[in-house]
Each structure stands twice: as structure tokens, then as C-alpha cells.
Amino acid sequence: MNSALSAWTLLLMLMCFSAAPLPTGCEETKQDFKKYKFLYYSFEKLGSHGMQLSQSGKVLARQGHDVFFLVGSDGPRAPKTNDNDLFSFIFFQSNYTTEGRRDVFRELSHYSLSGELSSAAGIARLILRTLRTGKPLVIYLLIDECDALLRDEKTMARLRREQFDMMVADDFSLCNAIVAEALDIPFVQLANWCAMPDKYGPLFRVPTDPSYIPAHQLGFTDRMTLSQRVINYIFHWTSEYIFSDFPTRYQQLKVKYNIKPEVHITESLMKARLWVFNMNYPLEFPRPMQPNTLMYASLIGGKRENYTLRDDVAKFVDEALAGFVIFSLGSHVEAMEVEQAQMFADGFALLPQKVLWQSNINFTGLNLGENTKMVNWIPLLQLLSHKNAKAFVTQCGINSVQEALWAGLPIVSIPLLHDMFDNNDRAVARGFALSLGDITSVTSDRLRDAVVEVVNNPKYRKNAQHYSAILRDLVRMNPPAETIANWILHVTKFGGNHLRPAVFDLNFVQRNLIDVYLILLLVFAVICGANVLLWYTCCSRRRGGRRPKRD
């Protein structure tokens, strides 16, 4: 009887287990899934900023979340990214036409190609000239764009009605914090460059120890001599002081539109749940970061669109028996004159390799060498990874450098503006790049000699492949787009207080331990004073005990 009962009990248990399998992680994920609504905003819609911003948006959209892009009327109907059908778009009325915006960037291109942005002194002169002439350079375009957005009541009302859960924005403009406050939503900042000390030190409290973290555009590495550390220390403080005036222009907009005017713009910016920097440690010098910061390598790894090369381009590179060199100075070189372009053409004509020149400019009267082919657009990473590719001549934009590094291809660098100089310094320090310096000092012979050096000297290719292996391993462990999307979801679900360091809530005195130093100085003064008083008292008593004897 007991054995029969035990058999029936065992059979019943087996039936229950087979009928009701244990839940899997996927089923739990489906049950816990909550649909969020994200607002993405990039000031620069056509260039690398808009492209890198969209990567995490694609991941979130494919996961089932709603992703909206905020776009100015002067820009294209959608950012320059594939899979635009994944997104919804909201347009606001800009102060600029499409051509007006291009004129601003042409002016920036003119200054970069003339070498005026290659030094801190040149940048200072440009700022003073801008303030004197009132020309709408990028700094004015940023402010005007923010003003136009906040003034567009219809669009702002639409944004409020959507009730977004999170705003994800390119930190090229400080307007993001104001918009987030106006909509009363949290926000995440994505920077398309490294954590530059002059900006991210005072604004985001990113550690910027001048003893080993080089200031922006100084050309130093993390191994500095005594004289370099002195210069670096001075530049750290002076550049922070110069940059501190920039946020006040945004503060005026907060007051103008009554968007929490009592909260200064710097405090508003520090409320970001997360800061994401387009940088990686194979390129960046090792340095401490805050818990609410993330480094990644944008536009590489993960899912890549496979482009089919034009027949003429495919034939050009496939038949390059001596290899080919890729030349591209990015999208902001529209002001290049024919004479300057001819200098590059003459230098490339001296090379035994073929040269694939990417440019969206139609030069009139330009004489290209027989080994050179100019194209309007190329799938850069695909060609950098081609078996016949030998070198990449570039302006050292962060995405270009990282894609060359991913392909293990050496670089000849001609930095033009802003973070390109820092990217150049790091690539040279890692040993896979040779810098030609200021573009105005480049000649046809120097260009040829530099390309020949990086192609024929095996150390450049060896170093590029070494750091490529490091980068690929890091990306394998943390695919950039997916990692960023997961972090954005994390802070959307749980907030960012558990990642927010207390330093954000300290004032200048507390943060720099000035009050502590004063207390220690006071204690030291009291101790010294007590010792002096004790010494004086002892000496007085000693003198008093030695009175002269009377006769």
C-alpha cells in the first residue's frame, strides 16, 4: 500500500514539473518589461555628433521603446543615420536657414584651414574678433539655436504633452539642461570627445589632476617634465577661468524664459544622470572618472551596415598592387581653396600607392595625379579594413581615429580644431600616428615623406595592430551601442543618486578643503603660539632666578 502510494506521489510530482517548467531569464525579462519614451536631441544633425547619438537610440527603439528626435527646421528631415523608420521626429523653428547654418560652418572651416585654431593664442584672437565683429560663429549659433527652441511655444507645448521619461542629448550645446528643466525630465549627456579638463573639470567635477592629466591642446602626454607640469598647472586654471564665462550666456536664457532662474546653469548641468564620453583607454591616457561617467568607442563594433562599394571604387582599391592611402579631412573643410587642395594633390602624386580622396567639394581646375581618385563619400571603416589599405591621412576627428585604430591602420594626422589636437597627441604617443602639425606648414614634400614613413616603417603598423587588439577585446566585452543603451535604461529605471558623487553638492570652499586648511592652520598657529609663550615664560623665570648678588 505504502509503495503504491509513493509511486503515485512520484508520478504526480513528475507531471507537475513537466507541465509547469521553471521560468527562464527571458520570461522574467518579458514580464518586467516597461515601455519608456526617450527624447534625443543633437545640435549637429548631419555630422558625427548626430550619427553617434543615434546609435543607442537604435538599440532602444529595437527593444520596443519610443524614441523621438528633436530637430531644427534648418536641418534635414532626419539625422544622418540609417534606420530612420525606427524614430519619430519633432521639428522646432530655427533662426537659421539650411544655407545660413552652412555659412557658419564654412566660416569655422576657413579659420581651421588657415591654422588660426591650432593654438590657444589663435583661439583667443578668434574669440575677440568674434565679439568685436559680431559674426555668427558656432558660439553664437549655439546660443541662437537654444533661444529659438525655447521661444517656439508650439514645439515646447508638444514636448510637454509627450511626457518623456528621459532626454538623451549631445553635450555640444549646454541647452540640454535648460530644456530638461523646462520639461521637468531627467537627462543624459553624450560627449563626442574625451573628458577635456577645461570643460568637464569645473562643470561636471571630472577629476582633472594637473600633475598627470594634460590640459586641452597643450600637446603634453601623461608623462610630463617639471617645466611641463608648471605650464600644465597654469593652463588648467586659466582655461577653466576662460571657459567659466561661456555658461553665463545660457544662464541669461534661463532668466529670459523663467526656467528655474534661481538655479545656475552649472548646477543644472550637474544634475545629469549620466555622462558618456566618446573615448577609450587604448587611446585615452589612464585617468580616474566618476561613477556616473562612461567611456565608449562610438560607431565601431556591434552591428555594422554593409555597404556595397561603387564599381569604380571597388576596382580602384582591389587593383592597387602597391596598396592605397585614404585621405579625408572630415565634413568641415568646405572653405578649402584650390591652391591648398593642389598642394595635397601634388604630394599624393609623388606616392607609389594609389590615393582615395574623400571630399564633398567640387574643385575647379584641380589637377589630380594619375594615382588619385576623388569621391564624394566612402564607407570609411570598410575601406580602412581593406587588405590593400596602407595608411590613413586624417584630421584626427575622434571617430576617424577610432575607426583607423579598429582596422589597425597607421595614421598621418593633420589636426584642424578643438579635440582633434588632443586625439592627435594621444595617437602619436601610442606610436601609430605621425603628425604633420599645423596645416599651414604642410608642403607636398612633407606630406609625401610622412606617408612613406608610416607605410614603410613597420613600427607604426605594429603599434596600430597592438592597440587595435586591445580595443577589439574591450568592445567584445562591452559593445558600445548596447552598453550605452543599457546604462540609459538603468538610470531611467532607478535614477542616478546611487552613482552621484557627493562632490557635486560641495561648494568651492568645501570641495577644495579650504575650510580644513584654515582649521589646520589655526591649530598650527595655536600650537606655535603656545610654544612661543611657554618658551618666553621659561626664559623670563630663568632670568628672574639669576638676580645679581649685592655687595
pLDDT, tens digit, 9 for 90 and up, residues 257-270: 999 999 988 889 88
Given pLDDT bands bounded at 50, 70 and 90, which one contains residue 452? Answer: very high
CA separation for the pair 430, 417 (Å, rounded): 21
Predicted pLDDT at 82? 55
For the sheet with 433-435, list strands across it.
Answer: 372-375, 354-358, 324-328, 389-394, 411-413, 433-435
Residue 245 in this model has a pLDDT that exceeds 80: no
CA separation for the pair 282, 214 (Å, rounded): 17
CA quadruple 192, 195, 198, 204: dihedral sign:
positive
Residue 26 in this model has a pLDDT that exceeds 50: no
Looking at every residue in the chain, the average pLDDT score rounds to 81
Predicted pLDDT at 537? 85
| Nine cell digits for residue 65 | 521603446
Predicted pLDDT at 243? 62
Predicted pLDDT at 19? 45
Tens digit of pLDDT for each residue in 270-302? 889 998 888 888 888 888 888 888 887 665 644
Least trusted range by pLDDT, from 16-30, 160-174, 230-244: 16-30
CA separation for the pair 150, 176 (Å, rounded): 11
Least trusted range by pLDDT, from 52-56, 71-75, 313-317: 71-75
CA separation for the pair 65, 328 (Å, rounded): 36
Predicted pLDDT at 131? 59
Given pLDDT bands bounded at 50, 70 and 90, which one contains residue 83? Answer: low
Residue 550 in this model has a pLDDT that exceeds 90: no
CA separation for the pair 444, 466 (Å, rounded): 30
Q: Which position has the higher pLDDT, 138 or 383?
A: 383
